[in-house]
Amino acid sequence: MAGSDRTARFALVAREAAEAGPSPRPVARSEAEVELAARVRQLRVGALGTGFQTTPSPELSERYAETRSASDALASVLEVTAPPFEAFFALGANEPTANRARADELVPVIAPHGLGAPAWLRVAAADGVLPPIECATEVLRWFAALDRPPRASAVPTVRTSSAHGTVSWTLRWVSAAASPTPERTAPARPSPTLTEQGVALANWPTLPEMFALQARQRSLTAPLVDGRTFTWLAGALPDRALAARHTFDSSTGSIRISTRARSDRGSHVGARTVF
């Protein structure tokens, strides 16, 4: 098989595996799953695997390593298994340049979607990898709308099975800056704006991504983000006049998820850059 045909075949198989989700029989994987696993092994020892291990940028290498450690710790307490980076690369995941990552304070975030509120609240209650999480009543009622991955067509998604059901994992680079970009001054390039219909766009961070980002910060003993600000969250709520937002309340030491009118503007709230 020619190199270009082989690459195309691997890309097709990877997408088939992601769309098909986990095999209904854990001991009998589908052909697509088997080939995706083989592709991941090849990436680890081939050109991309070598590039990942010896990337020209020490900064990106360090950020990958930090995320791997934090993701594995978070996945363990959530009782799931985080996919390897190569599984996302096999589906076409990209990375920013070192300059872009440095300018926007971007870090790789592996996030599980579809676990449900009880799983996150249970882990947060243990006060280990995450601080306590406080969700407004409407957030708990509409949690499923915030627990979805970004648009599947735009973001490579790896699906795995777990005791919680199917988990949809994403790998995106999210800004770990202390504060998001206020919408009133946000540049059009990296940060989206709210539409009149109130549809949260795919390049906003999801709620699981913000949880995973905060877990990463905590694993590094770094300050949690949004200590004095709010970050808008992706996901269209049933009440389209409202949007969900994330903050860290340093006075109580807890993450707070609430809703606010979409018309809210100011230096205290904004869109966090996502790549």
pLDDT digits (tens, 9 = 90+) for 127-160: 689 999 999 999 999 999 999 998 756 789 999 9
240 pLDDT exceeds 70?
yes
Question: Residue 49 CB: number of other CB atoms within 10 A?
Answer: 17
pLDDT digits (tens, 9 = 90+) for 248-274: 999 999 999 999 987 787 778 888 999
Query: Nearest to residue 53, comparing CAs of 97, 86, 75?
Result: 86
**Residue 232's beta-bridge partner residues?**
245
Give the C-alpha separation, 239 to 90, whole Å.
37
pLDDT digits (tens, 9 = 90+) for 46-80: 444 444 444 558 889 999 999 999 999 999 999 99
Contact 156, 18 (CB under 8 A): yes
The pLDDT of residue 48 is 46
**pTM for this structure?**
0.78
23 pLDDT exceeds 50?
no
